Amino acid sequence: MSAPRDRRPPADEPLGSITRPVVDDSDIAPVCYACGAVDLTRLRVALPAGRPAVFASCPDCEATAWFVVDGDGRALGPDGLPRA
Ligand SMILES: [Zn+2]
């Protein structure tokens, strides 16, 4: 048995839509709409219409909301309408 000699690492691939750099989305989803906590869990996602958004979950009160990237900063519910 001869081991393959060509063990080059794969060529650099451009980052696709799945792999994203770590970003700070605290500007987009700044605060829990329900209790005001700022230490939210934030996930960058894409809405069905293709709009980028941030899904935020509050570890304190478990409230969740959507925030449209480059939107007006309002917390949106699952139906896309503003919370509160
Ligand atoms: Zn909260």
d(CA 5, CA 82): 59
Q: Summarize pLDDT for 15-55 with one digit per residue, the tens.
A: 555 555 567 899 999 999 999 999 999 999 887 788 899 99
Q: Are 61 and 72 in contact (CB under 8 A)?
A: no
Task: Find the 59 Cα to ligand 1 centroid distance in Å.
Answer: 7
How many whole angstroms separate alpha carbon 27 and alpha carbon 61?
Answer: 20
Neighbours of ion ligand 1 (CB under 5 A): 32, 34-35, 37, 58, 60-61, 63
Instruction: For 19-29, write each residue's pLDDT tens digit.
Output: 555 678 999 99
Rounded-to-integer distance, Cα 9 and Cα 37, Å:
44
Domain ranges of the chain: 31-79
67, 75 Cβ separation under 8 angstroms: yes
Place of tokens 């980052």: 15
